[in-house]
Amino acid sequence: MGFLMYIADATGYLASIGVMFSRNFGAKNLTWLSFFLQLSYGVAVVGFVLVVLSGYYFYVKLKSLSVGSKQPRLND
Tens of pLDDT, residue by residue over 30-75, are 888 999 999 999 999 999 999 999 999 999 999 888 765 566 565 6
pLDDT beyond 90 at 10: yes
pLDDT beyond 90 at 6: yes
AA identity, residue 45: V
Residues 37 and 23 in one domain: no
Whether pTM exceeds 0.75: no
Supply the range of the domain harboring residue 11: 1-30
Residues 59 and 41 in one domain: yes
Q: Report yes or no on 60 lying in a domain.
A: yes
Residues 20 and 35 in one domain: no
Residues 22 and 47 in one domain: no
Residues 45 and 35 in one domain: yes
Report d(CA 11, CA 18) in Å as an integer: 10
For the chain, what is the domain count? 2
Is the pLDDT higher at 14 or at 63?
A: 14
Q: Report yes or no on 15 lying in a domain.
A: yes
Phi, psi dihedral angles at 27 (to 5 degrees): -130, 65
What is the per-residue pLDDT for 30? 86
What is the per-residue pLDDT for 75? 61
